[in-house]
Amino acid sequence: MTQGDAVRAYGAIVRMGQKATGAAAFTLFRLKKGLQEIFEFQNEEEQKLVQQYGGQVIENSLVVIADKDQRAKFQAEVEKLHAMECDIQPVTIPAAAIPEISLAEIEALDGFVIFE
């Protein structure tokens, strides 16, 4: 799995963690902690890249870099960052433990959560 995959999975766990109960919630909590470290690392590194390439962050997520060449370099660096491998062990939870899970959440968690 890549760090980009881990960032997407972290967002899904944050959303669906509120829907889980009991043992499934505890299992997701443990996974969330591991993914959170990667999420925070990615955030910090992306902020450094924004500064390095003269960008601005608008509305907490949109990065604007006026210079076309700098923007291309920034995008290439972010892609490298997201392609880095990470070592997160998948967890198994019963699918019935989370009754309201979306297809997007399942896709984001693929490889990190095994639903039985």
> Can you give the residue range of the structural domain that contains 108?
3-115
Token output for 22:
């009991």
Averaged pLDDT of the chain: 89
Q: Give the dihedral sign, CA 94/38/86/82.
A: positive
Which pLDDT belongs to residue 17?
66
The mean per-residue pLDDT over the stretch 25-31 comes to 90
Q: Are 113 and 32 in contact (CB under 8 A)?
A: no
pTM (two decimals): 0.83
Structure confidence by residue, pLDDT tens digits, 33-66: 999 999 999 999 998 998 898 888 887 777 888 8
The mean per-residue pLDDT over the stretch 70-79 comes to 91
Total structural domains within the chain: 1
